[in-house]
Every structure is written in structure tokens, then in C-alpha cells.
Structure 1
Amino acid sequence: MKEMLNSRRTLLLALVVLLLVGGQLVVPGFTNASQFANQLKIATFLGLFGISQTLVMMAGGQGLDLSVGAAATLGGMVGAALIDQGSAGLLLAFGAAALCGAVIGAINGVGITLFKVPPLVMTLAMGSLVDGALIVWSSVMHVNTAASPTLVALAGGGVAGVPTIAAFWLAAASLVWWFVDHSAWGRRLMATGANPTAARLTGGRVRHVRIAVYVASATIASLVGVLLVGYVGQAFLGLGTSYVLTSVVVAVIGGVSLAGGRGDYVAVAIAAIFLTVLTSLLTALQIGEAGRQCIFGATLLAFLAINGWSVKGRLSIG
């Protein structure tokens, strides 16, 4: 049992299976093909936002990115304004969204690393600034907010019952897994989060690493914002707001350390599926908002306790 609990992937996979089996027993049809495809779409967006938080949290320094919602909204609105019916417009939309996200991330990174602004404060302030600017922009400029048919097909379509967007998530998850576990830059990222002083003494560029992860975080969020427009059909203010806290929660449940230097994105991806299936089951059971919040809070506390127990176990072994 102890060995199983130490494997976050195994624990989360077991919980997902338990929820699916239990859901099918109490709500017939809970695991049918269309229902599962819809859950996979929802989990995909949560998992993609989870990449942003995972990278930032791994870099240490109490890193969190509370501007991912604003970056997603900006990316979605800019993308919708530039997109047209063809593939050229789609590429322009994604390119412009990525540029907007990179600017947001660079400002966050510089403010945190050079001006020593706490990440929580810096990213929260940046998110508020972007949201405010978008309110002014949307009231002055009457730009297109509707998703093009191409974007709708990209984000909402599927092949043989498998959502197309899930394929993008699989590719992104594979890239992040390789980057963190098998690349030299990934090792520098983990070293920076685990012990920035030691990383600096061995030649690691701690500031550069942390600025880079904030740029990556906001860029990814902006790109996901464009996909969100295709999924919901329209860009609007607050498009990515609901993913700010849930992206942090899914990273924590996936075992990413709030102190930095430890994390496994495969577990984070499974955690996104777990949270999605749990939410779907609670909704199917008609559990009220108060009940859902209590269950989510208890779940988060349980995984925080497991995280703390795992760290204590490693320290005692060491």
C-alpha cells in the first residue's frame, strides 16, 4: 500500500477507474462513448492549463501564475479578431496570441526575478491589468468575437469518436514529459527549483530559467485561449478565468511541489482527467454547489497531506 501511494500515477489512475465504475453503477450511461468524449475534451483544456502551472511551480521561488486566465482571454480575443475562414488566418491568430502571451510572461518574469515582486502579487496584478485593458478594448473596438468554422472543427471536432483537441494534448504532454525528464534544460529547471543557490554556483542561470518558464506559461495559456474560442464558439471577457485556480489545483493533485524542484506532468495529466470525471459525476448526481465545493476542498487537502507525507518520507530516507 505504501509503495502504491508513493506512485502518484498509480493512485490517480486507480481513482479515475473507481470513479468511472462507480459512476456507471449509480448513473447508467455515465461511461458511454459520447459522455466520455465530452469529459476528455474538458480534461484536455484543464490539462493544457496545467502545463503552465507545472512549469512555473517546478522552477521554485514559490512560483504561481495567476495571470493564465487573463492571458487565455487575451489570446482568445486577439485570435478571434484576426481569424478568418482559411488556414492563413488560423496561423495568424495563433501567432498573434503566442506573441501576446510571451509579452505577458516576460513582464511577469522580469518583475519577479529582477524587481523581486512576489509571484502571487506580480501575476495577480498582471492579470488584473490585462483584464482591465480588455474591457476598454472591447468597449472601444468592435472586433469579431465569433470562432471560424475551421477553429470550431479544430477544437470541437473528432475522429472515430476521439476529440481532435485530445491529440494536441497528447502531443503537448509528450513534449513536456520529454523536456522535463530527458533534456538538459529540464534538468536545469528542476535544479533551479530544488536549490537555486546550488544551481547558481554550478553555473545555472536561475533568473533566465525563471523568466523563461513565465514566458512559456503565458504563451501556452494564450494559445489554449484560442482553442477555447473554438470549443465554446465565441471569445468573451473572462474566457479563461475559471482555469486560474483549477490549474493550480490540478498541478498540486498531480504532485508538483509548491516549493519547486519536484513534479511529474504525466501525473498532472491524469489528475486533470480525475478532476473532470469527479466534477461530471457530482453534476450527474445533482450535488449542489456547496457540496461540490466541500468535496473539492477535502480532495485538495487530502492530496496536500499526501504530498507532505511523501516529502517527509524522502527526507527521512535521505
Structure 2
Amino acid sequence: MKTNPGSRRLMLLALVVLVMIGGQLAVPGFTNLGQLGNQLKIATFLGLFGISQTLVMMAGNQGLDLSVGAAATLGGIFGAALIGTEPAGLLCAVIAAALCGALVGGLNGVGITFLRVPPLVMTLAMASLVDGGLIVWSSVMHVNTAASPALVALAGRSVAGVPTVALLWLLAATMMWWFLDHSAWGRRLMATGANSTAALLTGTRVRVVRMAAYTASGMIAALTGLLLVGYVGQAFLGLGTSYVLTSVVVAVIGGVSLGGGRGDYIAVAIAAVFLTVLTSLLTALQIGEAGRQCIFGATLLAFLVVNGWSLSGGRIKAA
């Protein structure tokens, strides 16, 4: 039974507001426009990686994509190497990054759907293969890894005070919301994750749906990696590694079911903002790494409990 996503969104929005108010009281200037703009940029990348995890988690079969960091690094390095100085170079870089991500995601999909390798094992193995290949390739080939002026402008420019990357995220979030709530493919994805046997009996091509989910996950991660190069100014090994677990965390906090078939990307997007603001506050308060990890762990555990209650309540009503 699908739960109402509105309560989750309101709860997360309330938490964002509370953290921002607490941050302003504890650290004056925490909510000034410059700080908010920077936090929005950081949340954008986390939110985009969250799209990748949302797709594969909703496809069911205990889906997780631990290769999103490797796909982002691959797309970022190849995109930076190909972009050049000509305006057409940006388009070439985008196409190259998308193809790299599609290759990683497609191989994940083949291993998971046809070879029946567990998603956790398959995506972790793929991440190791990609990272290892990049280490060998970078030691042999010496290519440009610096972000081009066009890519820096794309990642750093603002429109009416709103970062361009945040506007791109808004567009991606709108498309994701429409896909999940209003498209036939979105309904097939939900049905596949909820009960793959029932979906198969109703004519859904379960393997194709899961293949598409993992392919899309890889593409989105690789394109996000290219944007990340423009933000940090340089492509490097391990570019997307720090987003692997955090992307899973924001999906869980946003209410995406680890069992598949249930989730709301708008809540995931708000969760990305919440986690970013919380991290920024803890950093401003000079909380050590151990303290931050404890707080993040407690937050994740609390939302896992909330998810369990929500799912249990849905089943009781359905009964």
C-alpha cells in the first residue's frame, strides 16, 4: 500500500527549518545568502546522486548501486579530457560522460538481471573494476583533467542569485517526479519493485525495467560527475567516492523502501538539503569526525525506524 508522501515532505522541511534556525542562533551568519547558495550547490550534487539510488532501489531485488562513485569519476575524467576549449566540446563531453555511465550501468544491469548476481556484489565489483581501470589508464595516458572555463561557468554561475546547477537539479527533479508519478514506465518500475512476479504476470518486462533502471543510474551518476568537475575545478581519481553511501542515506531518509516499489523523489530531494545543512552546521560548530559520524548514524537509524513503522502501518491497513 502506497503511503502518503506529503507527511514525509513536511517533516523533512520542518527539520531543515529547525536546523537552519538553530544554526543561525549558534553561528551568526549561518543563513546569509552566500552561505545558503553554497549549501544549495552542495545539496544539488547529493540530490542528483540520490536520483540514481532512488531508481535502482525502487526497482526492487534489494537494489543498491555502489558503483555511482566510480561512474561519476569515469564520466568526470573522460569528460574533462574531451571537452577542449571549443563551445562544441561541452556537448562532446556530455555525450562521452553519458555513454561511460550507460556502459557501467548497463553492465550492472546485465550481471544483476541475467546472471543473477546480487546487486550489492555486482555494483561493488563494477566499482572496483572501473576504479582499477582508471588507475592503470591514468598512469599510462596523461590527459587534461582540469575543468574547462565552460564547465566552471556552468557549475559556478548563478541566475538571479540561484546557482545554475541548482536549476539543473530542479529540472531533473521535475522530470523524476513526472516519471515516477505520471508515466507508464514509472508505474512499471513501481510494480516491478513491489512484486516482480505479479508485474511479470501483468505483462511488465521485469528484466528490461531493471536493466533500464541501472543504465539510467549510471548515466545520471556520470553526468553528475562531469558537473562536479566544474565545481571542484579538477577531475581526479575518487571524485565521486564520497557520494556512494551518502546517496543511499538520502534515499532512505527520503522514504525510498530498501525492498523496492515505494518512494517519493521530492522527499529525497528535501532530504539532500537537510543532510547538507546538517553537515554544514556540524562543521561550523567544529564537531569532530567521530561526532559527525555518530550523529549521521543516529539520524539514519531514526529514519529507518520511521520507515519501518510506516510500512508496518500500511500493511495493517491493507489487511
TM-score by length of 2: 0.98
**What corresponds to 2:263 in structure 1?**
263
State the 1:87 CA deviation.
2.1
AA of the residue aligned to 2:198:
A
Paired with 1:4 and 1:203, the residues of 2 have a C-alpha distance of: 27
> Counterparts of 1:203-218 in structure 2 under 5 Å?
203-218=203-218
**What corresponds to 2:31 in structure 1?**
31
- Deviation per CA, 1:84-132: give whole Å up to 9, x if none: 2232000000101100111111110010011100000000000000000
The count of residues paired between Structure 1 and Structure 2 equals 316
CA distance 1:116–1:11, change in 2 (3 Å): same
Paired with 1:289 and 1:185, the residues of 2 have a C-alpha distance of: 42
AA of the residue aligned to 1:254:
G
State the 1:157 CA deviation.
1.5
**What corresponds to 1:88 in structure 2?**
88
- Deviation per CA, 1:6-44: give whole Å up to 9, x if none: 711010000000001111011100000000000000000
Q: Is the 8 A contact 1:8 1:255 kept in 2?
A: yes
- Deviation per CA, 1:164-214: give whole Å up to 9, x if none: 100000000000000000001100000000000000001110000000000
Paired with 2:199 and 2:184, the residues of 1 have a C-alpha distance of: 13
**What corresponds to 1:73 in structure 2?**
73
What is the root-mean-square deviation of aligned Cα atoms in Å? Answer: 1.2
Q: Does 1:58 align with 2:61?
A: no
AA of the residue aligned to 2:61:
G
Identity of aligned residues (%): 78
Question: Secondary structure at the residue paired with 1:7?
Answer: helix
Paired with 2:6 and 2:310, the residues of 1 have a C-alpha distance of: 7
> Counterparts of 1:1-318 in structure 2 under 5 Å?
7-318=7-318
AA of the residue aligned to 1:173:
A
CA distance 1:34–1:287, change in 2 (3 Å): same
CA distance 1:5–1:309, change in 2 (3 Å): farther
CA distance 1:56–1:4, change in 2 (3 Å): closer
Paired with 1:136 and 1:43, the residues of 2 have a C-alpha distance of: 32
- Deviation per CA, 1:221-271: give whole Å up to 9, x if none: 000111000000000000000000000000000000000000000000000
AA of the residue aligned to 1:179:
F
State the 1:68 CA deviation.
0.3
Paired with 2:265 and 2:228, the residues of 1 have a C-alpha distance of: 21
AA of the residue aligned to 2:208:
H
Unaligned runs of 5+ in 1: none
Q: Is the 8 A contact 1:34 1:161 kept in 2?
A: no
Unaligned runs of 5+ in 2: none
Paired with 1:72 and 1:4, the residues of 2 have a C-alpha distance of: 33
Q: Is the 8 A contact 1:4 1:11 kept in 2?
A: no
State the 1:52 CA deviation.
0.1
Question: Secondary structure at the residue paired with 1:101?
Answer: helix
Paired with 1:218 and 1:101, the residues of 2 have a C-alpha distance of: 4
Paired with 1:6 and 1:107, the residues of 2 have a C-alpha distance of: 36
Q: Is the 8 A contact 1:8 1:267 kept in 2?
A: yes
Paired with 1:159 and 1:5, the residues of 2 have a C-alpha distance of: 30
State the 1:159 CA deviation.
1.9
AA of the residue aligned to 1:234:
Q
Q: Is the 8 A contact 1:53 1:251 kept in 2?
A: yes
Paired with 1:235 and 1:6, the residues of 2 have a C-alpha distance of: 39
Paired with 2:272 and 2:5, the residues of 1 have a C-alpha distance of: 18
- Deviation per CA, 1:54-108: give whole Å up to 9, x if none: 0000000000000000000000000000012232000000101100111111110
Q: Is the 8 A contact 1:6 1:310 kept in 2?
A: no
Paired with 1:83 and 1:38, the residues of 2 have a C-alpha distance of: 25
Paired with 2:5 and 2:249, the residues of 1 have a C-alpha distance of: 19
State the 1:4 CA deviation.
10
Q: Is the 8 A contact 1:76 1:97 kept in 2?
A: yes
